[in-house]
């Protein structure tokens, strides 16, 4: 077992995809760095924190991208975002069997915030173009940095999300909420609280992710293969589907409170207080609500 | 600018746009054509509820009024920073709003954004920034964060950021910077009715913001990087 969370973005790609099948576009050798970080005197990365390319997965042609959480928290800057947009536009042109995004990002890179914000919205539109063309988009979330901010929105625009219990999917980080509304609103140092509010188990139980796996690269690989096999085409975004989504999300507002254990109990899950202690298999067995 | 003042300038005193809390919505007549107006006011934080309220209006318009244009009136302080909203999946609710607007576009509705007061980060991505085009009034404020906060986060001196901001729109808040980067198409100056008329007549269905940013000199790399990815061997 190799920990997905402890791998770098490139290690994840090497282990997740068919051996030696990853072909990278704009690789680090081209030294495509952020000009804005250079202006600030901040160290740059030769891939601006994201690797993009094509590969095969179980023999099928796929496009893959992986964000590097160790560089600027996976934050989306101008170049990083444009690489993702170009990669998605290329998918629209070349029509791979599926598009896989290994997301690990705090969202917009604050050092180049304005460009990053626009870039995230461009990624979102390009992703929805890919889906509309019938190409399924799968997002994998298992890095220690989680998937936050605009990338948390982008992830939920995909067909399918695979998470580990270490993975987190949300909008604002707990530190930001604590800074804004106080430690009694969200204690960012209470790891158990943070994970039961935004972690993979909670997202699985509420249907915010489609597969929950162990923090293991081969488990992610198996789940990704299962996803692209099941998703022969993207689920089209139709009015009927969005109405169903609307009803589902509206029903959530009936719950009054902010505590995950109370929410799980309200969903009818047995022994809700013990869920954080269960392993992935046991949580998976509880089923999504 | 005050939303009532804006609505009156655009659609007359009997504009028919209602305010429920921070949520604005209504059906208005403009040049003999009906438009759906939706948005927020009072620098509203966008949480699950407010994202869903807006999505409801979009879905109803798509279902009942095929092809009718949607006008988004934007004034937000960004996403709601609450644990409850995170627990309930605020990112999913925002994605839902964005996908409703995207569906409307694909079904032939024009989707126009107007930042009439303030637009910030998460509250902006699934409204104005997912529209066909987003315009703004000159006094609008658009940003992710102010320079003092950015200085804290990046641990760089604020004076350095301020100096760099003079020539690089990437760093500093400001509606002009968003125009230069292509994120805002144009500013509404003078006759607002004429500006809306132009906006309705020119609603691009493809995303041209990276090209606009390159042509205007505010975002010099994005369009080039996209092309390089498309051409890479």
Q: What is the pLDDT of residues B95-106, one digit of tens each?
A: 999 999 999 999
Across the interface, whether the CB atoms of A40 and B102 are under 8 A apart is answered no
Across the interface, whether the CB atoms of B229 and A83 are under 8 A apart is answered yes
Which of these, B129, B117, B109, lies nearest to B200 by C-alpha position?
A: B109
Lowest mean pLDDT among A75-84, A177-186, A226-235, B115-124: A226-235
Q: Are strands B69-74 and B111-115 parallel, antiparallel or unpaired?
A: parallel
- Work out the average pLDDT over B76-86: 96
- Work out the average pLDDT over A146-161: 98
Which tokens belong to A160?
């399918």
Across the interface, whether the CB atoms of B181 and A114 are under 8 A apart is answered yes
**pLDDT at site B177:** 94
In terms of phi and psi (left: phi > 0; alpha: psi -120 to 50; beta: otherwise), the region of B98 is alpha
ipTM > 0.95, yes or no = yes
Q: Is the pLDDT of residue B159 over 80?
A: yes
Q: Contacts of residue B129 in chain A, CB cutoff 8 Å?
A: 117-118, 121
Mean pLDDT score across all residues of chain B: 95
**pLDDT at site B69:** 98
Which pLDDT band holds residue A143 (cuts at 50, 70, 90)? very high
pTM of the model: 0.97
CB-facing half-sphere around the CA of A241: CA atoms within 13 A? 11
- Work out the average pLDDT over A222-244: 93
Q: Are strands B133-136 and B111-115 parallel, antiparallel or unpaired?
A: parallel
A242 touches chain B (CB under 8 A): yes
> How confident is the model over A22-77, as pLDDT tens digits?
999 999 999 999 999 999 999 999 999 999 999 999 999 999 999 999 999 999 99
CATH code at B3-205: 3.90.226.10
**pLDDT at site B3:** 97
**pLDDT at site A289:** 82
* Per-domain residue ranges of chain B: 3-205
CA distance B84 to chain A (A): 4
Biggest CA-to-CA distance, chain B = 59
Which pLDDT band holds residue B167 (cuts at 50, 70, 90)? confident
Which tokens belong to A90?
């290329």
Q: A50 - beta bridge partners?
A: A67
Question: What angle do the packed helices A239-252 and B48-64 form, to 10 degrees?
Answer: 150
* Cβ-Cβ contacts under 8 Å for A99 (sequence gap 6 or more): A62, A63, A64, A88, A91, A127, A130, A135, A136, A137, A138
CA distance B19 to chain A (A): 20
CA distance B226 to chain A (A): 4
Give the C-alpha distances (Å, rounded to integers) separating B19 from A166, B63, B73, B74, B134: 42, 23, 12, 13, 22
**pLDDT at site B172:** 84
- Work out the average pLDDT over A240-251: 98
Across the interface, whether the CB atoms of A249 and B96 are under 8 A apart is answered yes
Mean pLDDT score across all residues of chain A: 97
**pLDDT at site B146:** 78
Across the interface, whether the CB atoms of B170 and A115 are under 8 A apart is answered yes
- Work out the average pLDDT over A10-21: 98
A251 touches chain B (CB under 8 A): no
Which tokens belong to B213?
């940013």
* Cβ-Cβ contacts under 8 Å for A180 (sequence gap 6 or more): B81
- Work out the average pLDDT over B19-47: 97
Across the interface, whether the CB atoms of A114 and B95 are under 8 A apart is answered no
Q: Are strands A137-141 and A160-164 parallel, antiparallel or unpaired?
A: parallel
**pLDDT at site A28:** 98
**pLDDT at site B130:** 97
Cβ atoms of A137 and A99 closer than 8 Å: yes
Cα separation, B156 vs A257, in Å, equals: 39
CA distance A21 to chain B (A): 15
Element (H, E) at B18: strand B18-20
Which of these, A59, A61, A99, A103, lies nearest to A81 by C-alpha position?
A: A103
Percent of chain B predicted with pLDDT > 90: 85
Q: Is the pLDDT of residue B153 over 80?
A: no
């Amino acid at each position: 077992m190799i920990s997905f969370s402890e791998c770098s973005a490139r290690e994840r790609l090497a282990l997740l995809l068919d051996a030696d099948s990853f072909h990278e576009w704009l690789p680090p050798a081209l030294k495509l760095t952020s000009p804005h970080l250079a202006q600030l005197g901040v160290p740059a990365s030769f891939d601006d924190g994201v690797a993009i390319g094509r590969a095969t997965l179980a023999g099928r042609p796929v496009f893959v991208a992986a964000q590097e959480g160790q560089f600027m928290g996976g934050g989306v800057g101008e170049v990083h975002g444009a690489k993702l947009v170009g990669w998605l536009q290329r998918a629209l042109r070349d029509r791979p069997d599926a598009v896989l995004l290994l997301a690990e990002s705090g969202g917009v890179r604050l050092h180049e915030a304005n460009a990053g914000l626009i870039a995230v919205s461009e990624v979102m539109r390009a992703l929805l173009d890919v889906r509309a063309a019938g190409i399924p988009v799968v997002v994998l979330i298992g890095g220690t940095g989680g998937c936050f901010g605009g990338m948390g929105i982008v992830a939920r625009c995909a067909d399918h999300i695979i998470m580990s219990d270490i993975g987190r999917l949300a909008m604002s980080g707990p530190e930001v909420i604590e800074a804004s509304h106080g430690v009694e609103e969200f204690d960012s140092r209470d790891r158990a609280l943070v994970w039961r509010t935004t972690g993979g188990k909670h997202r699985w139980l509420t249907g915010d992710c489609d597969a929950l796996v162990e923090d293991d690269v081969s488990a992610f690989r198996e789940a990704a293969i299962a996803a692209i096999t099941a998703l022969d085409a993207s689920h089209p975004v139709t009015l009927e589907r969005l109405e169903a989504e609307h009803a589902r999300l509206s029903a959530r507002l009936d719950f009054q409170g902010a505590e995950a254990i109370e929410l799980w109990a309200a969903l009818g899950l047995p022994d809700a207080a013990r869920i954080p202690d269960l392993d992935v298999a046991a949580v998976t067995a509880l089923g999504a609500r | 600018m005050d939303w009532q003042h804006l609505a009156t300038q655009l659609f007359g005193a009997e504009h028919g746009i209602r305010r429920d809390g921070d949520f604005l919505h209504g059906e208005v007549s403009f040049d003999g054509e009906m438009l759906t107006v939706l948005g927020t006011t009072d620098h509203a934080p966008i949480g699950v509820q407010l994202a869903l309220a807006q999505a409801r209006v979009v879905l109803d318009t798509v279902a009942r009024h095929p092809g009718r244009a949607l006008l988004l009136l934007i004034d937000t302080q960004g996403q709601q920073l609450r644990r409850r909203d995170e627990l309930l999946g605020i990112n999913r609710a925002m994605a839902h709003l964005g996908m409703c607007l995207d569906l409307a576009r694909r079904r032939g509705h024009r989707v126009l954004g107007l930042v009439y007061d303030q637009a910030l980060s998460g509250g902006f991505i699934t409204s104005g920034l997912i529209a066909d085009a987003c315009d703004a009034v000159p006094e609008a404020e658009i940003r992710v964060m102010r320079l003092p906060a950015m200085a804290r986060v990046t641990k760089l001196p604020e004076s350095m950021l301020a100096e760099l901001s003079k020539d690089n729109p990437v760093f500093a808040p400001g509606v002009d910077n968003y125009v230069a980067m292509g994120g805002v198409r144009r500013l509404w100056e003078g006759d607002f009715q004429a500006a809306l008329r132009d906006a309705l007549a020119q609603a691009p269905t493809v995303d041209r913001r990276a090209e606009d940013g390159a042509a205007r000199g505010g975002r010099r790399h994005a369009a080039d990087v996209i092309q390089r990815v498309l051409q890479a061997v």
